[in-house]
Amino acid sequence: MAKILITSALPYVNNVPHLGNLIGCVLSADVFARFCRSRGYETLYICGTDEYGTATEAKAIEEGVSPREICDKYFKIHKSIYEWFNISTNRFGRTSDPIHVQHTQDIFLELHKNGMLLEKEVEQPYDQKVGLFLADRFVTGICPHCGSKDARADQCDKCGKLLTYSELGEPRSKLTGTTPVLKKTKHLFLDLAQSQPRLEKWIDGIEKEGRWSANTLAIARSWLKEGLQARSITRDLKWGVPVPLKGWENKVLYVWFDAPIGYVSITAGLTDKWKEWWLAGNEAPGSPSEVRHYEFIGKDNVPFHAIIFPAMLMGTRQPWTLPHYISSTEFLNYEDGKFSKSKGVGVFGNDAVESGIPADVWRYYLLATRPESADATFSWDEFGTRLNKELLGNWGNLVNRTLVFLTQNYEGVVPAPEELSEEDEAFLADVKIRLEREADLLEKVQIRAAVQEFMGAASAANAYLQAQAPWKSVRENPKRAAAALYCLANVIHDLAIASEPFLPSSSASVARQLGVKLGTWKDIGQRQVAGGHHIGPAEHLYKPLDTKALAGFREKYAGRQKKEGEEKGGKTPGSKTPGSSPASAPKKSAPAAPVAPLSLENLQLEVGLIESVERHPNAEKLYVEKIILANGEIRTICSGLVPYMKEEELEGRACVVVKNLKPAKLRGVESAGMILVAEEEGGKLELIMPPAPAGTPVQFKGITPNSQPPAISIDEFFTVQLTVKKGAVYANGHELLVDGHALKVQKVSEGKVS
């Protein structure tokens, strides 16, 4: 019997997975793993988080914590989301586990011993202030394509173009804001060209056996045709697997090198027999190896899994298990755009968990729209249709109508039929054939078509129920009704087994309702529900979603900017005077509509320098300040501080500016932003003066700022609780940080900020 080894691309740890990530790898692999177990194959499904590398270090700097803390936090988020979705990994591990370091270093040392590594000197940007080489993501500057000032040296987030360091205008270190210098450093490269002949032979064999899709083969062939280049495998970083060689102590292995070894190390963390899975030597065409490795990845990962990782394993000259089949999906888009955490667009794993919609409904929708051959789009309309018409209208209704009827008319006992008619036999045979087709499709990892085949079988059962009309025949022809209900109970039993890979919780519910233990694929067609069997109490499988509920979800996940755009026009800007103390603020003239709380990632605070202060021409209590911000930008801001501070107490001082406040006219002067003051109970007022130059961002501990925050209204700003505790400033309980240090005020020790 074949041993089936299943891996899902390891999700990168520093974010929350969205629905596209789920269907792309983890959920698709889960369906296949559940199917293989039901078929009786020895099955191992391995996944986990990919934790090392620059992106984690960057995130840690952003959130003001250590990389380990970032990984611990996001690992938990990933794990809990996948558990909620009923992902049945045998082990969900981590690449930051010590066992991973050991496996990665072992493979590295074998490659080194076999002469697969080259040493090269390269020039890399270096931050002299902190004494660190800078990965591309740590350098920002001006994009040569769109002029964005925040382009990273590897990619511009605004226009999406890939960049190199030399293309970037006015490069700055993200760590210190200084201009990096180019400095020489040495790196190790993996000489992939040495593996090319073996790879070609291996891929010829795969093509002959017809194992991979035409697309996957085409991508692999194009890489081989271009010839494999040496790839750098070391980095000047700290958060990674140390290079286990003398003279290389300050470098780590590049994350692309260690991440796929995670498949192996996570297996080794589960079982001592990991070699039976991973050193099965299936490279030769038609090799007798019993292990078949199925990889589930996104389409952008094909070259890596089809070429680079196998080339790396071949370089060790060990009989590694190579991929038998690669299932790659296209992308899932959201409504009319892309998923974006920072813009609040789309449904992310945590949103699904909190939606109140059961995991099986999400699973069904994602599997039925799985982007197998082209990009697919999530749409709430289609989500509603698939739930209401297919899951509930077809499968749920079949179960409910049949079992409730058995309870009400047969006291919950499946009748024993005297004889089955030709129609009954034809119905049972038809369902059996459909489910065999479903199994054939699942063997070939054609999940979407398999889902359709299952739904087709449920439709056939509904048609049979309708034609048999046991609600009539139970009185007119009881023998007929008994035979029909016996057949239906058995078909529902089989359908529960056949849908378990897609809908595990629903199948468990159907088994409870039938009063049976859910069997495996070999039980299908065996008429396991005998006459005289007592069924269990009925449960509702699914609840419908009406158009109003769907519209609510659509609006909720449409993105913050879009919602703000829709609000424009009707709503007037808040009437509270920016920069004023609460005591002096004019009262709101009319109660406004409730404002959604502003999430801190969208509150942009920056250190400003007050260049000049004047009295407002038309308002007694207002000053008009000119304030210098990042890149020399000068803003005019009005603040109601006249009763509290003299001009000379403000002029030339540093301050904290709410930078992304929507501009508003205050008595004829446009004010763009506000400055923050601390206020002690009883009225002592103090300008918050950070010890940092103008343009320095003010951050919230534990919060990753949105790189392009939307403009916010004054009412949204006031939903944030800004307080002073023991002289330090907090927003919603998150400490404010400047250059990584707590922002302190001098006189006020307890109070609020506005």
Instruction: Give residues in contact with Zn ion (CB under 5 A).
Output: 143, 145-146, 148, 156, 158-159
Shortest distance (Å) from residue 549 CB to Zn ion: 39
Radius of gyration of the chain (CA): 31
CA pseudo-torsion sign 578, 582, 587, 593: positive
Shortest distance (Å) from residue 142 CB to Zn ion: 9
Of 694, 706, 691, 707, the C-alpha closest to 740 is 691
Nearer to Zn ion, 160 or 227 (CB): 160
Nearer to Zn ion, 103 or 152 (CB): 152
Nearer to Zn ion, 174 or 621 (CB): 174
Nearer to Zn ion, 5 or 142 (CB): 142
Residue 249 exposed, middle or buried by CB count within 10 Å (0-12, 13-18, 19+) = exposed
Shortest distance (Å) from residue 712 CB to Zn ion: 25
Nearer to Zn ion, 159 or 449 (CB): 159
Shortest distance (Å) from residue 631 CB to Zn ion: 17
Nearer to Zn ion, 151 or 674 (CB): 151
What does each C-alpha distance from 433 to 123, 456, 521 come to in angstroms?
Answer: 64, 11, 13
Shortest distance (Å) from residue 504 CB to Zn ion: 44
Shortest distance (Å) from residue 398 CB to Zn ion: 53
Task: Decide if 231 contacts 308 (C-beta within 8 A).
Answer: yes
Nearer to Zn ion, 708 or 749 (CB): 708
Shortest distance (Å) from residue 36 CB to Zn ion: 45
List for the chain the helix, strand, coil content (%; round to 5).
Answer: 40, 20, 40
294 Cβ partners below 8 Å, 6+ apart? 4, 5, 6, 7, 29, 32, 323, 324, 325, 326, 327, 445
Shortest distance (Å) from residue 163 CB to Zn ion: 8
Nearer to Zn ion, 140 or 706 (CB): 140
Shortest distance (Å) from residue 167 CB to Zn ion: 10
CA pseudo-torsion sign 99, 100, 101, 106: positive
Question: CA–CA separation, 69 vs 51, rounded Å?
Answer: 11
Residue with tokens 């940080």: 737
Q: What are phi and psi of 242, to 5 degrees?
A: -60, 145
Nearer to Zn ion, 170 or 200 (CB): 170
Nearer to Zn ion, 183 or 338 (CB): 338
Q: What torsion, rounded to 10 degrees, do the Cα atoms 518, 524, 527, 530 define?
A: 0
378: left (phi over 0), alpha (psi -120 to 50) or beta: beta
- Strand ranges inside 346-394, DSSP E: 376-378
Residue 135 exposed, middle or buried by CB count within 10 Å (0-12, 13-18, 19+) = buried
Question: CA–CA separation, 362 vs 345, rounded Å?
Answer: 17
Tokens standing for residue 585 = 């603020």
Shortest distance (Å) from residue 630 CB to Zn ion: 18
Tokens standing for residue 659 = 């930078």
Tokens standing for residue 177 = 């804001």
